[in-house]
Amino acid sequence: MSKLRQSAKGQPCMIRIPGVCNRNNETTVLAHLNGGGVGAKKHDLFAAFACSACHDEIDRRTRVIDVETAELLHRQGVERTQLFWLNSGFIKVD
């Protein structure tokens, strides 16, 4: 398991879908953007900290919001997660 995946443990959800997010840091995992290919995931850099409820929604196991909104909120969560990693020293830019 990569350090980026491990960094999700205990973190707040960065996707924050209104009316869906359970705000339970104990359920947070790293949720990858779609498009890694058949049987593959995108690089861990293209993922967001997600609570179990938001993860279910962006993976469409639940369907409270439309797919376009879910994708937008997921991408915004990726940006917040990347900023967290940058500020925490998990990733560095020279």
Active-site positions?
32
Q: Which residues neighbour 93 within 8 Å (Cβ) at sequence distance 6 or greater?
A: 86
Residue type, 25: N
